[in-house]
Structure 1
Amino acid sequence: MAFMNVANYLQIIERAWRSCNGQTLSIFLSIRHDHAKLKNYHIESPENIVEKFLPAPIDELVVYHLKCLYSMGIGDFLTAYQLQSALVQAFTKILQAQKDENWSLPIMYTISSDLRVIAQQAENQRVGVNDKPGEYLEKAAECLMGCFRICAADNRTDDRDTKRKGMMALVNQLFKVYFRINKLHLCKPLIRAIESSPFKDTFSLSQQITYRYFVGRKAMFDSDYKAADKYLSYAFENCHKLSRKNKRLILIYLVPVKMLLGYTPNRVVLEKYNVLEFWDLVQAVCQGNLKWFDEIMEKHEIFFIHCGIYLIVDKLKIVAYRNLFKKVYLILNTHQIPVESLQTALEFLGQDVDLDETQCIVANLINEGKIKGYISHQHRKVVVSKQNPFPPLTST
């Protein structure tokens, strides 16, 4: 490091503040920078030395930062969270006071990300009986919303100076919190704010990739699979080829979405990004092999649950039903398929169903547009269209 004592550190901070160098300040207010690991920066009461070097209001931020490092150093993340939260709130006042400037946005990016990380560590350290799960993350989100409102309220149209350039970075941090505490409904107004922003396409590529990744995941959980495909595909295709971990993460959600839309994933791609758990599933769904499908769901249950996609993947069973019934239709070569024939096929593949349950499955497929036809309950037959009775899933 270029400096080894606190005095030098504070001098760097002072010069950066005087020259409005938000990038340098963001580095030296980060819990992830090298200085954060050095014990001589873990100061329980740094007020006196900070006041010797720094003017207000930057002195307050640095005091909170050094005290936060001290609390983290002794493993007290509950206190560290309170201090980082106070730092962000103090910065929010500075940001609001800077009416015609946005040079401090890099500081906002860093301290907001750090607040989320520390809040997560505080969650892991909850001890009180009154501490509810997600409480610290939820409070962190409220704190970040203060910065977001200031950025969103900036009416300047010059994209060089407007604080609205900071909106997407904050939205991405808030997405990470809301997905963690399972409050996806809170994402909706944030998405609306970004989509209506005139600067929507000017945010950095990395921010846009992260944004589309989360919006795609939300669309997936809302069963809007075409939108999910659009956003997740953008994230996957634009994610740097060396970011294999991130591309794998995107693919975990993109693969079931593609399958629900009728696309067959490439084994080479699945193997490249180490998600071969999906390959047997692809084969079972394409073949309409429900027995194999159930076995795969059981075999990879932990993986699917851990990734938060178990219920989405389980929806692929309806596609497997559709593909099985198409096989029965082709074998019988008739547009009037006896329900008993479909039931027999289901029972052969380990499904414990009666005629009524079989009819319910067919009715769902018809309602979803996966089969064109109707059920003749009087004759217990499924009457399918003579033209394209099993339309491509991409059109449903």
Structure 2
Amino acid sequence: MVVHSINQYLQNVDKYWQQNDALFLSELLSLQNDHVLSPQLQIEEPDEIVERLVSPPFDELVASHLKCIYALNNKDYLDAYQHQSTVCVTLTKILQSQKEENWMLPLMYTVCLDLRLLAEKAEKERQDRLSKPGEILEKAAECLMGCFRVCAADNRSSEEDTKRLGMLTIVNQLFKVYFKINKLHLCKPLIRAIDSSIFKDSFAISQQITYRYFVGCKSMFDSNYKAADEFLTYAFENCHKNSRKNKRLILIYLVPVKMLLGYMPSKSVLEKYDVLQFWELVEGVKRGDLRQLDQVQEKHESFFIKCGIYLIVEKLKIIAYRNLFKKVYQILNTHQIPVEALQCALEFVGQTDVDLDETECIVSNLIFEGKIKGYISHQHRKVVVSKQNPFPPLTTLT
């Protein structure tokens, strides 16, 4: 947007404020818009001119936006964040005063997105200073919660004017903050609020996809793999086919979840979305090759840690143990498998430091999880497996 003068800019802002046009206001107050770079708007103390040309109570919000622009152009992200916080707080008050209107929701989305992005930049700026990590993002979340509460408190049931339609967009912004500062427990009340909303099917599909992605990731970290599979699969299948970056991001979490549930992805899918780090895992798990799993974990350690799935990948070993012991059962062709035979198989695939007691412990876990049907005869040191379906398909387990 070309800005010829501060007067012209402010007159346009006031015009769209008077016309209840949130879409144009969103552009005029977005930190992603080109007007942020305009020299005409870089004013350190804009309060007087704003008060003269913009109607209250919107003038306070606009003045804070201009101060934010000034700080941004001076590369002072912390100061810019403080001003954007004021923008968000002021907007929250205006939203509260508009009892039967929701026309400002698009502007709220823009302000909240800019606040989160600025908070992330301000966090990086303060990394070298003595400050609590995540402190700025936590404060940003408090501002976002202000907007969320205003939306959630609107008890009108009409889709035309209820602010509750804005809840999911704010929740997704909060999820991004909570995942960033590793406070996933704070997501729980937000999930309850969305799941109980009568508008949960009316939210924009893009927001529903984002929501299910985060809820799926949280379910994965909570070891609720069936729910994680459901949410992440929805996100992957409904994500636009051209959004390859987003589909890849979803797949990074969906693949290990699928594997834990017994579904092994094809190489072509992993190749298509550039996540071949998982292919060697798939091969190792299928063969029960613990040596290969250890090598893959070491080789791609930084990738798994960065994505936060290192411990999930570690859990795939239990599937590899199950597949290895199934091979021993098929080779010996007996329902009474000596524990020594299982230990020998473990040594063959690189687990040389596992003794008989530890081998029994691994088998006990597999029996407890239902991955092997049978029991351990400690007297004879044998694993006695069921004559019917001793190694149930992983996909049938819940």
TM-aligned CA deviation for residue 44 of structure 1: 1.1
Q: Distance in 1 between matches of 2:2 and 2:126?
A: 37
Q: Which residue of 1 aligns with 2:360?
A: 359
TM-aligned CA deviation for residue 11 of structure 1: 1.6
Q: Secondary structure at the match of 2:131?
A: coil
Q: Which residue of 1 aligns with 2:218?
A: 218
* Number of equivalent positions: 396
TM-aligned CA deviation for residue 269 of structure 1: 1.1
Trace 1:109-128 onto structure 2 (pairs within 5 A). Answer: 109-126=109-126
Spell out, residue by residue over 1:129-175, the C-alpha distance to the aligned partner (whole angstroms, 9 max, x if none). 65200000001101111111111111100011000000000000000
Q: Distance in 1 between matches of 2:303 and 2:40?
A: 43
Spell out, residue by residue over 1:38-63, the C-alpha distance to the aligned partner (whole angstroms, 9 max, x if none). 23322211112212210111111111
Q: Which runs of 5+ in 2 are unaligned?
A: none
1:348 aligns with 2:348: yes
Q: Distance in 2 between matches of 1:164 and 1:86?
A: 23
Q: Over aligned residue pairs, what C-alpha RMSD do you find? A: 1.1
Q: Secondary structure at the match of 2:55?
A: coil
Q: Distance in 1 between matches of 2:298 and 2:173?
A: 34
Amino acid in structure 1 at the alignment position of 2:10 = L
Q: Distance in 1 between matches of 2:178 and 2:166?
A: 19
Spell out, residue by residue over 1:199-239, the C-alpha distance to the aligned partner (whole angstroms, 9 max, x if none). 00000010000000000000000111110011001101111
Q: Which residue of 2 aligns with 1:46?
A: 46
1:252 aligns with 2:252: yes
TM-aligned CA deviation for residue 266 of structure 1: 1.5
Q: Distance in 2 between matches of 1:2 and 1:76?
A: 24
Trace 1:198-209 onto structure 2 (pairs within 5 A). Answer: 198-209=198-209
Q: Which runs of 5+ in 1 are unaligned?
A: none
Q: Which residue of 2 aligns with 1:324?
A: 324
Trace 1:1-396 onto structure 2 (pairs within 5 A). Answer: 1-126=1-126, 130-351=130-351, 352-396=353-397
Q: Distance in 1 between matches of 2:26 and 2:36?
A: 13
Q: Distance in 1 between matches of 2:123 and 2:99?
A: 35
Q: Secondary structure at the match of 1:390?
A: coil
Q: Distance in 1 between matches of 2:9 and 2:313?
A: 52
TM-score (norm 2): 0.98
TM-aligned CA deviation for residue 340 of structure 1: 0.4
Q: Distance in 1 between matches of 2:118 and 2:163?
A: 25
Structure 1's 272 and 128: CA in aligned 2 closer, same or farther, altered over 3 A?
closer
Amino acid in structure 1 at the alignment position of 2:375 = Y
Amino acid in structure 2 at the alignment position of 1:344 = C
Q: Distance in 1 between matches of 2:179 and 2:127?
A: 23
Q: Secondary structure at the match of 1:133?
A: coil
Runs ≥4 residues deviating over 6 A: none
